[in-house]
Every structure is written in C-alpha cells, then in structure tokens.
Amino acid sequence: MTGGLRGSHPPTLLTLARRALAGECGPVAGMSICVAVSGGRDSMALLQVLAKLAPQHGFTLSAHGIDHGLRAFAARELEGASLFAKSLGVPFRITRVDVERGGNLQARARDARHAALAAALPKGALLATAHHQDDRAETVLLRILRGASAEGLAVLPARDGMRLRPFIRAGREAIDAHVKRHAIPYFDDPSNDDPRFMRTRVRREVLPLLESLDAGIVGHLTGLADDMIAHRQENPSDDADESLPLPRATRDALAALVSRKSSRTRIALPGGLSARFDAATQSVRIEAARGRPARRKAAQPDGSRADSVGSGRRK
C-alpha cells in the first residue's frame, strides 16, 4: 500500500460561484444578469461560469464591454470577447467612450466605464463583475494606505444592491486554474503590470511581502472587510451609497438620453464627466464636462478610492 490519505482539494471556481449565487449573491432566479466583460482573464472566466450556471439558477444572461479608446488593441479584444460570448449563446454589446489622456487616467476611465454600464443596464437587471478575493484584499490595503476610516474598509461585498460579485470568495489561483482547464480565451492588458499605479505595486510588492510573513493575510484582510460590511448593515447611515455608481435620477436621465437619441442634451456625471448621445456611433459618449477638468470621486461603490475597475484594472 502506497501513500496516505489524500488531502482534500479546494473547491473549484464553478463550485464557489454556485455557492455565491445560491447564498450571499442571491436571489437571482427569474432575474436578468449583465456581465461586465473586458476581455481579460477574470471577466472571461465569469462570462463562461455564469453561462454554465444560468439554466440551473433560472436567470437570463447578457454581457457588455466598454472600449475606453485608450489602447490600440482594445477594440479587437472586445470583438474577441464578443465572439466568445456568441459561442456561449450570450448576447454581447459594446459601448465606446472617450477618456482624454492626462492625470488620474485610471480613475477617469473607471468613472466613464461605470457611467456607460449604468446607462446600458436594462431596467431591473443585475450587473455582475469579476472582482475576486485577491482584488478585495488589495483594495483593503489601498484604503489603509490612504488613511481610510474603519467604515471605509467595507469594500466589495458579494452583493451591493443591483451589483453582484460571484467570484468574491475565489482566489486568483482558482480563476487561473479554471481558465486553463476550460481553455477560455482571454487578453492581457499590459497596464495591469504598470508600476506607476499604486494598485500594481500593492499587488506585486506589498501583498507578496505580507504573505511571506503570514500566508493567511488575504483571508485576514477580506475578513476585515466582511466585519466592516456587517457593521455597516447593522448601523445603516442615511447617506449610504447607491447600489450602482450613479444616483437614480442620473441613471433615469441617461436611459432617457438613449431612448430619445438626443445629441443636443448633455448630462452631468460624477467625477467631472458628462454624457451625450453620439449619433455617429449610436451610443452614449462619456467625456470631460465642459469648462472644468475631470476629477475623481472620493470613493467608489466597487471599493476603490482614487485608483483603479476595482481599480481601473481590466477584469
């Protein structure tokens, strides 16, 4: 007889997502879910997983990609994502937005992406993003480094109003293994490894150092976020964030802008941005508001502050 008892294997990504949909992300039965897809590894994995789970959990699925116009290959990558969605039987739409180059680029790109997704989301639909456990740990560290209050550490819950994060209990390794096992196509964005961005340095330098001191640090940081979320839920404030990154009145105005296809109407958005309908592309155009430079919001519903989806990072 050789060997001993086999060690238990960690749950697969599919199992973790199934648990999330049946638990803290739910209920989703009878709902419409739109996946935010960039073409990156995480969001392509989420698209494939939700397409597989949709029949079991009774929801309909669509996907939406945002082209910020900042990278030459972004349009080609979204076309690749569209083809993959088509192979899964998932409708896929692309919105193109304009983000001027300059300071705070990732934050402004994130603001534009959130505004475009809010405008495109069908009424009553849920928005699913591919944030995972490691993203959450990074975001907690970023908040600490920037001097956030304890309440400011309540980041990236599994469900936040109409926003879902089915991978929030999954680590990066589980996603990587799933992508490899199922040969899921994806595209790497080199800006994710750019050391000019603080999130990149936290991911590449700070978190590995902390893991060398305590292998369970990711769990500790995400547990802290859980504790702060529980505290916030037990002590709700009157000025709680909207479930989506725009106030309801602004979302309604954006929806009306799309339905009327009015290129003369301009709607003010958070972060020094504005929106108008572009007749040439038949889509909402997000740009810097006239007369003032773009600015970032102090805190984002995706758990980021003055940094990059969760991060400006392509999921």
What is the model's pLDDT at position 186?
97
Taking the C-alpha atoms of 280, 284, 290 and 294 in order, what is their torsion angle to the nearest 10 degrees?
-130
Does residue 55 belong to any structural domain of this protein? yes
Does residue 295 belong to any structural domain of this protein? no
Tokens at 301, concatenated: 């519903």
pTM of the model: 0.74
User: Helices in the chain by DSSP H: which ranges?
Assistant: 13-22, 41-57, 74-87, 105-120, 133-145, 172-181, 198-201, 207-213, 217-234, 248-260
Does residue 307 belong to any structural domain of this protein? no
**Stated length of the chain:** 315
What is the model's pLDDT at position 2?
43
Does residue 19 belong to any structural domain of this protein? yes
Does residue 57 belong to any structural domain of this protein? yes
Per-residue pLDDT tens, the chain, 315 aa: give them: 344 445 568 899 999 999 999 999 999 999 999 999 999 999 999 999 999 999 999 999 999 999 987 777 888 999 999 999 999 999 999 998 887 666 677 778 888 888 889 888 988 999 999 999 999 999 999 999 999 999 899 999 999 999 999 999 999 999 999 999 999 999 998 878 889 889 999 999 999 999 999 999 999 999 999 999 999 888 875 444 444 455 556 666 666 666 666 666 777 766 566 777 666 666 666 666 554 433 333 333 334 333 333 334 556
What is the model's pLDDT at position 175?
98
What is the model's pLDDT at position 239?
46
The CA distance from 23 to 27, in Å, is 7
Does residue 258 belong to any structural domain of this protein? no
- Residue 306 near residue 107 (C-beta atoms within 8 A): yes
Structural domain for 282, as ranges: 13-236+266-288
Does residue 164 belong to any structural domain of this protein? yes
DSSP symbols for 66-108: EE-S-STTHHHHHHHHHHHHHHTT--EEEEE-----STTHHHH
Question: Going by DSSP bridges, is the β-strand pair 60-67/32-36 parallel, antiparallel, or unpaired?
Answer: parallel
Q: How many domains does the chain have?
A: 1
Q: Nearest 5 degrees, angle CA 315-CA 218-CA 234?
A: 90
What is the model's pLDDT at position 293?
38
The enclosing domain of 167 has a CATH number of 3.40.50.620
Does residue 4 belong to any structural domain of this protein? no
